[in-house]
Amino acid sequence: MWEPVWTKLTSIWSIWTACRELERCGCKSGCDSQRCSCRRTGLPCTLQCKCNNACLNKSENYEDPSE
């Protein structure tokens, strides 16, 4: 006879939090206003963002690949 075995399900909130870290902005200058999608969600810009060297919303451990 088959017996159901339940595993731990991941909550939708933990998936949503992980996906937020993949957010990227398309800013061309500054990222200093709420128009920046990263700033608006409370996250620092990453290397995936299009703001490059003009960014004012970089994380503390941001490393510019052009340097």
DSSP state of 33: S
DSSP alpha helices (H): ranges in 9-64? Answer: 12-20, 37-40
Rounded to 5°, angle at Cα 11 from 60 and 44: 15
Band (10; pLDDT cuts 50, 70, 90): low
Q: What is the pLDDT of residues 19-44, one digit of tens each?
A: 666 778 999 888 999 999 999 988 88
Residue ranges per structural domain of the chain: 23-61
Radius of gyration of the chain (CA): 18
